Amino acid sequence: MHAIVCIKQVPDTTEVKIDPERGTLIREGVPSIVNPFDTYAIEEALLLKEKFGGKVTVISMGPPQAVEALKEAVAMGADEAILLSDRAFAGADTWATAYTLCSAIKKIGDFDVILCGRQAIDGDTGQVGPGIATQLGINQLTYVFKIQDIDFEKRTIRVERLVEEGREVVTSTLPCLLTVVKDINQPRYPTFMGIRRAAKMQIPTWTAAEMNVNPDLIGLTGSPTKVVRVFTPPAREGECDLVTADSPEQAAEILAEKLLAEKII
């Protein structure tokens, strides 16, 4: 079994502030973390490895410091890690990012599953995973809540997807791409032995030239979408209607009536 996990290093959004003048994120001094949704993808890959044997490769496109995120995945137990880093990748939108990751996956070669988090907490698009599957021409199983079974003989996988109305059981052929939701597992902590291995590991960096990519399809040039402006929406004016009553039951009744009158429920 070979699982490839695509991860992203993101600013710890609990500590990010927005520059009100320029409308950009103030990233100075803000710690970077592995995108939390991606940690579930890493964990799921490690669980597959524990069950079926094989190996887990983690890749990330980002600036040189994104190597920290890859090392964290190695400390958790990933076997190999590759950083895709080149100034030419900068400014990529989700499509160009998916193309770059897809090119790296083609260069890696054989794999059974690709795992991604459902979305990154900074961009919140949830498009890169599906973009990779589309560009590779393989099936995508999004919002996976549980991997029920993998049959390597028949080359199939059966998963439960979290959909709005409930759960959906889907079977796909391998190889395929999964994006996972946070309820799928509980990511492990790295062990000290894992940390020591990761700290020493030399993680290879692949540049655009090494990956043989089409320069017109990467970075800002290869991005069909552009970010025109980032801004904080003005705070909404709200009105507070305080419900007072003699008992909680009475208060609940008044509230229910108001909500019904407003057609909220």
Partner 1 sequence: MDFQLTDEQQMIRKMVRDFAEKEIAPIAKETDTEGKFPWEIIRKMARLGFLGLPFPEEYGGAGADNVSLAIAMEEIARVCGSTAITLDAHTSLCSEPIYLFGTEAQKRKYLPKLCSGEWIGAFGLTEPGAGSDAGATKTRAVRDGDEWVINGQKCFITNGSIADVVIITAVTDPGRGTRGISSFIVEKGTPGFRPGRDEEKMGLKGSITSELFFEDCRIPAENLLGRENEGFKQFLVTLDGGRIAIAAMALGLAQGAFERALAYSKERVQFGQPICNFQAIQWMLADMSTEIDAARLLVYRAAWLKDQGLPFTKEAAMAKLFTSEMAERVCYKAIQIHGGYGYMKEYEVERMYRDQRLCAIGEGTSEIQRLVIARQLLR
Instruction: Select from 45, 98, 36 the least CA-distant residue to 74.
Output: 45
Supply the minimum distance, in Å, between the C-beta of residue 6 and partner 1. 21
In whole angstroms, give the CA distance from residue 3 to residue 113. Answer: 5
Instruction: Select from 57, 58, 80, 77 the least CA-distant residue to 69.
Output: 58
Supply the minimum distance, in Å, between the C-beta of residue 208 and partner 1. 26
Supply the minimum distance, in Å, between the C-beta of residue 12 and partner 1. 11
Supply the minimum distance, in Å, between the C-beta of residue 214 and partner 1. 35
Q: Phi and psi at residue 116, in whole multiples of 5°?
A: -135, 155
* Contact yes or no for 19/26 (Cβ under 8 A): yes
Q: Determine, following the binding rule CB under 8 A, whether residue 42 of this chain makes contact with partner 1.
A: no
* Contact yes or no for 114/148 (Cβ under 8 A): no
- Using a 10 angstrom Cβ sphere, with 0-12 exposed, 13-18 middle and 19 or more buried, the burial of residue 23 is exposed
Give the nearer residue to partner 1 in terms of CB position, either 71 or 146.
71
Q: How many residues bind partner 1 (CB under 8 A)?
A: 13
Residues 188-207 that bind partner 1 (CB under 8 A): 189-193, 195-196, 198-200
Give the nearer residue to partner 1 in terms of CB position, either 189 or 234.
189
Terminal-residue alpha carbon distance, the chain: 49
Supply the minimum distance, in Å, between the C-beta of residue 188 and partner 1. 9
Give the nearer residue to partner 1 in terms of CB position, either 45 or 198.
198
Instruction: Select from 58, 46, 49, 47 the least CA-distant residue to 7.
Output: 58
Supply the minimum distance, in Å, between the C-beta of residue 103 and partner 1. 28
Residues 98-117 that bind partner 1 (CB under 8 A): none
* Contact yes or no for 3/111 (Cβ under 8 A): yes
Stretch that binds partner 1, among 53-61, 71-79, 142-150, 247-255 (CB under 8 A): 71-79
Supply the minimum distance, in Å, between the C-beta of residue 99 and partner 1. 31
In whole angstroms, give the CA distance from residue 121 to residue 140. Answer: 21
Give the per-residue contact string, 224-243, with partner 1 (x = CB under 8 A; - = no): --------------------
Q: Determine, following the binding rule CB under 8 A, whether residue 71 of this chain makes contact with partner 1.
A: yes
Q: Determine, following the binding rule CB under 8 A, whether residue 263 of this chain makes contact with partner 1.
A: no
DSSP state of 217: G
Give the nearer residue to partner 1 in terms of CB position, either 175 or 190.
190
Q: Hey, what amino acid is at 246?
A: D
Tell me which residues touch partner 1 (CB under 8 A). 71-72, 75, 189-193, 195-196, 198-200
